[in-house]
């Protein structure tokens, strides 16, 4: 008998007493009544606690903020589909070269490794845990680009911020390649004390964009 059938047979035999399969008890919090302002405030607090740098801006200020963040940086990777209104205007000198990573022309790992930063959008965020979620949609790119560069600048739209994890996960398609990011890379492996910065980006900079007024 092959391994599959044998294992399934063993498992069925183990359950001969036909144990009950209770319905999951979902009495925990699944919805929140928090205002956008409160969600932004909570997210910022949690991100800062994890040593991320955070800026909260109005929709019209994103490009300017990103230009300031990128000043002096070498090359910056940007995925295809990134909102062009958020890209810094090319003034020629202070703004670094933006290199687009697109499905039809992916950059090599060496190119990603040599870049000074990567700039992406995000699919959702969880205020309560300080978590930003990327799902590879246009503007977020494939997983490697937000991993290999040492600096990740991530734009989070206020409308995408949920207070609770269940609210955020409900908005996502779980079959997409998903990365949940809570602060920069870290470890607690030496004496269980948290140290930021191991293999993932050691710098996480988050630009939170308020929803347009009215």
Partner 1 sequence: MSQTFLGMPSLPVHGEGNIHATEPFPAAARRELGNAQLRANLGHATRTIRDKRLKVVAELPDWEQLREAGSTIKQNVMARLPELLEQFEENFTARGGTIHWARDAAEANATVAALVREQGVDEVVKVKSMATQEIGLNEYLEEQGIAAFETDLAELIVQLDHDKPSHILVPAIHKNRTEVRDIFLREMPGVDPALTDDPARLADAARTHLRRKFLTAKVAVSGANFALADSGTLAVVESEGNGRMCLTLPETLITVMGIEKLLPAWQDLEVFMQLLPRSSTGERMNPYTSLWTGVAEGDGPRNVHLVLLDNGRSAALADEMGRSALHCIRCSACMNVCPVYERTGGHAYGSTYPGPIGAILSPLLTGIESEDNSTLPYASSLCGACYDACPVKINIPDILVHLRGQDVDSKRGKGKLPSQMDAAMQAASWALSSGRRLGLAEKALPLGRLAAGPDRKITSLPGIAAGWTQSRDIPAPPAESFRAWWRREHGKESGHGQGPGHPTGQGPAEGKP
Pick out residues in 29-88 that bind partner 1 (CB under 8 A). Answer: 29-30, 46, 50
Distance separating alpha carbons of residues 207 and 127, to the nearest angstrom: 14
- Point out which residues pair with 152 in neighbouring strands: 118, 204
Options 98, 142, 203, 211; binder of partner 1; rule CB under 8 A: 142
Distance separating alpha carbons of residues 60 and 116, to the nearest angstrom: 25
For residues 6 to 25, the per-residue mask of contacts with partner 1, x marking binding by CB under 8 A and - elsewhere, is xxxxxxxxxxxxxxxxxxxx
Interface stretch with partner 1, choices 60-68, 69-77, 115-123, 164-172 (CB under 8 A): 164-172
Distance separating alpha carbons of residues 103 and 138, to the nearest angstrom: 10
Options 117, 125, 155, 181; binder of partner 1; rule CB under 8 A: 181
SS3 2: coil
- For tokens 């925990």, the residue is 28
Query: Is residue 170 at the binding interface for partner 1, with CB under 8 A as the rule?
Result: yes
User: Binders of partner 1: how many residues, by CB under 8 A?
Assistant: 79
Of 7 and 71, nearer to partner 1 (C-beta) is 7
CA angle centred on 150, ends 179 and 59, rounded to 5°: 65
Give the residue among 203, 208, 214, 174 at the shortest CA–CA distance from 73.
203
Instruction: In angstroms, give the least distance from the CB of 81 to partner 1.
Output: 13
Options 119, 128, 139, 153; binder of partner 1; rule CB under 8 A: 128
Instruction: In angstroms, give the least distance from the CB of 44 to partner 1.
Output: 14
Count of beta carbons in the 10 Å neighbourhood of residue 160: 20
Instruction: In angstroms, give the least distance from the CB of 20 to partner 1.
Output: 6
**Tokens encoding 197:** 């910065």
Instruction: In angstroms, give the least distance from the CB of 82 to partner 1.
Output: 16
Of 96 and 149, nearer to partner 1 (C-beta) is 149
Count of beta carbons in the 10 Å neighbourhood of residue 188: 9
What length does the chain have?
214
């Amino acid at each position: 008998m092959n391994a599959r059938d044998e294992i399934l047979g063993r498992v069925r035999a183990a359950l001969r007493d036909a144990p009950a399969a209770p319905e999951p008890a979902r009495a925990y919090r699944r919805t929140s009544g928090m205002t956008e302002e409160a969600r932004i405030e909570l997210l910022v607090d949690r991100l800062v606690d994890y040593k991320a740098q955070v800026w909260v801006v109005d929709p019209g200020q994103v490009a300017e903020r990103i230009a300031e963040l990128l000043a002096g940086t070498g090359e910056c990777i940007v995925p295809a589909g990134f909102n062009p209104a958020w890209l810094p205007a090319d003034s020629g000198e202070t703004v670094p070269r933006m290199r687009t990573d697109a499905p039809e022309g992916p950059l090599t790992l060496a190119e990603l490794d040599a870049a000074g930063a990567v700039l992406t959008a995000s699919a959702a965020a969880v205020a309560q845990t300080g978590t930003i979620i990327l799902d590879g949609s246009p503007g977020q790119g494939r997983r490697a680009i937000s991993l290999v560069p040492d600096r990740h600048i991530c734009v989070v739209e206020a409308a995408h911020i949920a207070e609770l994890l269940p609210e955020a996960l409900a908005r996502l398609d779980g079959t997409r390649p998903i990365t949940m990011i809570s602060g920069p890379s870290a470890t607690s492996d030496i004496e269980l004390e948290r140290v930021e910065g191991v293999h993932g980006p050691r710098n996480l900079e988050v630009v939170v964009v308020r929803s347009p007024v009215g």
